[in-house]
Amino acid sequence: MSKIVIIGGHGKIALRLARILTAEGNEVSSLIRNPDHEADVRETGAAPVLADVENLSTEDIADKLRGHDAVVFSAGAGGGNPARTYAVDRDAAIRSIDAAQSAGVKRYVIVSYFGAGPDHGVPSDNSFFPYAEAKAAADERLRASDLDWTILGPSTLTEDEPTGKIELGPNAEKSTVSRSDVAQVAAIVLDTPDTSGKTIEFNNGETPISEAVASLR
Alpha carbons 122 and 133: distance in angstroms, whole number: 9
Q: Which of 86, 108, 113, 131 is catalytic?
A: 131
- Strands 3-7 and 70-73, bridge-based pairing: parallel
Instruction: Please say if 86 is a catalytic residue.
Output: no
Q: How far is C-alpha 56 from the chain's CA centre?
A: 18
- Strands 156-158 and 176-178, bridge-based pairing: parallel
Q: Is 210 helix (H, G, I), strand (E, B) or coil?
A: helix
Query: Could you write out the DSSP letters of every residue in 76-138?
Result: ---SS-HHHHIIIIIIIHHHHHHHHHHHT--EEEEE--TT-STT----TTSTTHHHHHHHHHH
Alpha carbons 33 and 79: distance in angstroms, whole number: 17
Tell me the one-letter amino acid at 171: N
Q: How many of the other CB atoms lie within 10 Å of CB of 163?
A: 16
Q: Which residues are catalytic?
A: 131
